[in-house]
C-alpha cells in the first residue's frame, strides 16, 4: 500500500467511527424525547380549580324548534367555554327536571342526564349535545322547557332548553305497503319503485286541527277524493309524498289568510330552505278534476308531477293562487297533460321551474316563473316546453316519439331567472306544436347565437309572441328568497292586457288588477 493509499484508508476509518458516534448520539436524543412525550401524554391528572360560576356559553337558550309527538328531535349543540388561565373542573352538570326530563344530553362524548367533575382546560371548551322526544299526552303544556344546570349553590349557572311539541295525524306505509313502479323523478329517468299505501275512507280529509305527517307515499284510491281544508299543514318524511290514482281527485281548498302548506317534516330553521327533503305530489295518469287553490308547496324533489290527459274537455289540474318553490328537480313537471294555472308562482328549482313535456294543453294567466337556482348548474330553462320523448328500444337504438302540443299559452306572465335563456319551446317535427306568449316579460339572450334561425324563438312572429318585452327588468323584492313581488322599478307595471286581467281580476294577494294590470302574479308595491 502506498503512502497515499494508507493515508486515505486511515481517513476513511476515522470518518466511519465519527459517523457511527454521531448516529448513536442522535438515536439516544430521539429516545429521550420520545420518553418525555410518552410520559407527558400518559399523564391523566392535572391540577384544576372549581369553575366558580365563570363559565361562558355559546347561547343562553337552546331552541330545539318544533317536534311532533313521540318523534325524536334533531341533535342540537351547546358549547361551554373556559376563558380563564386555569384548568377548571365543573363539579356538576344536570337537568333541572332530573331523570324525568324528556331531554337527553351528551357531555363531551358521555351520554346521560347527570354528570360530575367535568374538566375543561384553560382557553378551551367542551360540547354538550341535546335531543328530546316528547309524548304530548304526558305534558300539560305543548311548550316543553327545562334547564341545564352547571355547578350548585352560589356558583350555579344555567342554560334554558325550549321546544314546542305538536300533536299530529301520522300516516305510515303499514305492514302490507303498496309498491308502485313509476318513472323516476327526472325528465327522462328509468322506472323506480316507491312504497306507500292507499288511504282509508276516514283518512280522506286533512284539516287544520292537527298537522298530517306522511311516511312513504299516501295514495288516494280510484273514485275517491282527498279534501284538504283551509290552513291544513302536510309534512312529508324523506322519500314520501302523495299519489292521486286513476279516477281519483285532490281538492286543496286554501284561502288567502289560511293557505295549505306542503313541506318536509324537519321543522328546524336550518331546514327551512333545503330542497329535496321529500318526493312529490303525483297526479297519475287518469286522475281527474284535481284542484289546488291557495297552497304553498316547497322543498321537495318535484312540487307537482302531472301525468296524462284524462279528458279533452276538462283539465287534469286547475291550480290558482299557489306558490311552488325550492325543489331539487322541478317546480311542476307536466307530461302530456292538461293544466290551467292562474296567479301561479313557481320559483327556484334545480332543473326547470315549469316543464311541459310530451305535448299536452296548458294555459297560464298572470303567473310568475322565476328561477334563480344557486345550488349548482341548472340544466334547463325557467320554462321549458316540448312535444316529444326519447327512449332506447330493445336493441339499444334511441327512439324519438312526438305527441301533440295542443296549446301552451302564457298571458300576462313573467319568465325570468339567472340564466341567459329562460324560455325555450323545443319542437320536433311530427306533431302539433301550438304555443303563444302574450303581454309577458321573457328573459332570452342567445349569447352565442346557437338558436338563430329557429322559428319557435322568432320573437318578431306575432302569431307566437304578441306584445312581449325581452330582457325587461322584473325588479323582484328578493328572488334568492323566493319573494317575487315586483317593485316600483319593474317594467312589468301596467304591461298586462285587460283580457287576462278580467279573467283573473285579483292578484295572488287579493289586490285588484282590473285597472292598469301589471304582468305576473303580483301587482307592484313600493319597497
- With 0-12 / 13-18 / 19 or more C-beta atoms within 10 angstroms meaning exposed / middle / buried, residue 486 is buried
- With 0-12 / 13-18 / 19 or more C-beta atoms within 10 angstroms meaning exposed / middle / buried, residue 295 is buried
Beta bridge partners of 410: 364, 437
Q: How confident is the model over 115-149, as pLDDT tens digits?
A: 999 999 999 999 999 999 999 999 989 999 999 99
Q: Give me the residue label for grid cell 309577458.
A: 440
Locate 17 and state its grid cell. Answer: 467511527
Residues near 513 by beta carbon (within 8 Å), at least 6 away in sequence: 366, 496, 501, 504, 505, 506, 507, 523
- pLDDT grade, residue 185 (50/70/90)? low
Do residues 357 and 386 lie in contact, with contact meaning Cβ atoms separated by under 8 Å? Answer: yes
Quote the DSSP letter at residue 73.
Answer: P
* pLDDT for the residue numbered 50: 85
Q: How far is CA 62 from CA 83, 324, 338, in A?
A: 21, 32, 49
Least confident of 174-183, 237-246, 256-265, 410-419: 174-183
CATH of 53-166 among 2.30.42.10, 1.10.287.70, 2.30.30.100, 2.60.40.10 = 2.60.40.10
Give the span between the Cα atoms of 453 and 450, in whole angstroms: 9
Q: How confident is the model over 316-375, as pLDDT tens digits?
A: 999 999 999 999 999 999 999 999 999 999 999 999 999 999 999 999 999 999 999 999
Beta bridge partners of 388: 402
Which pTM was predicted?
0.84
Do residues 290 and 312 lie in contact, with contact meaning Cβ atoms separated by under 8 Å? Answer: no
Q: Give me the residue label for grid cell 307592484.
A: 524
Q: How confident is the model over 370-415, as pLDDT tens digits?
A: 999 999 999 899 999 999 999 889 999 999 999 999 999 999 999 9
Amino acid at each position: 500500500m502506498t503512502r497515499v493509499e494508507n493515508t486515505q484508508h486511515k481517513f476513511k476509518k476515522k470518518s466511519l467511527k465519527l459517523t457511527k458516534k454521531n448516529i448513536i448520539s442522535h438515536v439516544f436524543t430521539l429516545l429521550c424525547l420520545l420518553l418525555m412525550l410518552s410520559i407527558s401524554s400518559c399523564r391523566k391528572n392535572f391540577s384544576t380549580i372549581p369553575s366558580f360560576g365563570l363559565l361562558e356559553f355559546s347561547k343562553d337558550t337552546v331552541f330545539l324548534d318544533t317536534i311532533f309527538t313521540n318523534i325524536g328531535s334533531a341533535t342540537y349543540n351547546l358549547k361551554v367555554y373556559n376563558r380563564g388561565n386555569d384548568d377548571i373542573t365543573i363539579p356538576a352538570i344536570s337537568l333541572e327536571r332530573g331523570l324525568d326530563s324528556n331531554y337527553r344530553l351528551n357531555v363531551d362524548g358521555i351520554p346521560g342526564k347527570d354528570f360530575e367533575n367535568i374538566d375543561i382546560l384553560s382557553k378551551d371548551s367542551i360540547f354538550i349535545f341535546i335531543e328530546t322526544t316528547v309524548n304530548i299526552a304526558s305534558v300539560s303544556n305543548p311548550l316543553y322547557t327545562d334547564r341545564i344546570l352547571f355547578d350548585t349553590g352560589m356558583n350555579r349557572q344555567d342554560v334554558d332548553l325550549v321546544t314546542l311539541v305538536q300533536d299530529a295525524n301520522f300516516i305510515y306505509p303499514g305492514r302490507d305497503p303498496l309498491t308502485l313502479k313509476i318513472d323516476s323523478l327526472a325528465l327522462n329517468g328509468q322506472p323506480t319503485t316507491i312504497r306507500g299505501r292507499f288511504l282509508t275512507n276516514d283518512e280522506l280529509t286533512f284539516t287544520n286541527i292537527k298537522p298530517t305527517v306522511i311516511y312513504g307515499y299516501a295514495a288516494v284510491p280510484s273514485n275517491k277524493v282527498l279534501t284538504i281544508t283551509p290552513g291544513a299543514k302536510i309534512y312529508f318524511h324523506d322519500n314520501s309524498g302523495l299519489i292521486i290514482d286513476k279516477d281519483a281527485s285532490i281538492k286543496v281548498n286554501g284561502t288567502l289568510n289560511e293557505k295549505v302548506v306542503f313541506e318536509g317534516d324537519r321543522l328546524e330553521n336550518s331546514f327551512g330552505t333545503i330542497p329535496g327533503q321529500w318526493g312529490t305530489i303525483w297526479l297519475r295518469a287518469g286522475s281527474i278534476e284535481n284542484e289546488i287553490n291557495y297552497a304553498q308547496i316547497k322543498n321537495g324533489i318535484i312540487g307537482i308531477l302531472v301525468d296524462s290527459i284524462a279528458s279533452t274537455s276538462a283539465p287534469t289540474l286547475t291550480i290558482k293562487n299557489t306558490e311552488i318553490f325550492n325543489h331539487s328537480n322541478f317546480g311542476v313537471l307536466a307530461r302530456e297533460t292538461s293544466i290551467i294555472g292562474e296567479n301561479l308562482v313557481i320559483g327556484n328549482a334545480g332543473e326547470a321551474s315549469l316543464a311541459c313535456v310530451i305535448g299536452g294543453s296548458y294555459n297560464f294567466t298572470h303567473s310568475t316563473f322565476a328561477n334563480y337556482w344557486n345550488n349548482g348548474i341548472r340544466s334547463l330553462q325557467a320554462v321549458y316546453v316540448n312535444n316529444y320523448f326519447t327512449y332506447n328500444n330493445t336493441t339499444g337504438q334511441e327512439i324519438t316519439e312526438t305527441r301533440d302540443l295542443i296549446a301552451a299559452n302564457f298571458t300576462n306572465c313573467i319568465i325570468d331567472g339567472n340564466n341567459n335563456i329562460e324560455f325555450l319551446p323545443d319542437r320536433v317535427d311530427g306533431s302539433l306544436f301550438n304555443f303563444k306568449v302574450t303581454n309577458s316579460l321573457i328573459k332570452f339572450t342567445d349569447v352565442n347565437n346557437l338558436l338563430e334561425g329557429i322559428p319557435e324563438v322568432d320573437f318578431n312572429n306575432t302569431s307566437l309572441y304578441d306584445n312581449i318585452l325581452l330582457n325587461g327588468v322584473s325588479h323582484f323584492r328578493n328572488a334568492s328568497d323566493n319573494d317575487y313581488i315586483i317593485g316600483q322599478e319593474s317594467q312589468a307595471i301596467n304591461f298586462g292586457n285587460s283580457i287576462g286581467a278580467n279573467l283573473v281580476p285579483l292578484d295572488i294577494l287579493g289586490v285588484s288588477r282590473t285597472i292598469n294590470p301589471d304582468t305576473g302574479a303580483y301587482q307592484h308595491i313600493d319597497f
